[in-house]
Amino acid sequence: MGFVVTVSMLLILLMSVPNPLRAWLQKHQGELALWALLAGVWNFAWHGSQHLGEFWGNAAFISGLLMVFTSMPLLKIDKWPSTLKTMVQTYQTACPKILHYLALFALAICAALYTYTLIQLNLG
């Protein structure tokens, strides 16, 4: 699951900052953001909360919360039920931009940690 979470973090970052792949990813941004949001929920609610106090449990909890926080503005909620749509729209308008950028920076650090560890586990 570490690979899925790492890919989800990288997708959030690629959809959030200007880069050559952003235009291609925007075609499927709603679906990718939803999958990343669900991976973040799993990361902090399941793995992170069960292993708090351990290094990877803490990392999962923090990175999962950051994934949820940073994927919310990327969601395409046009066809969602009105109650969910209202909740997401409220969040999207309430979150200050600077807080979102700081969360993206922290998510990039988490993604680098996960990527480095996966490379070490598979090559080392």
Among 46, 26, 28, 49, smallest CA distance to 38 is for 46
Mean pLDDT of 13-25: 92
- pLDDT over 70 for what percent of the chain? 100
Q: What is the pLDDT of residues 82-100, one digit of tens each?
A: 988 898 888 888 888 899 9
Predicted local confidence at residue 94, as pLDDT: 87
Where are the domains positioned within the chain? 2-123
pTM of the shown model: 0.91
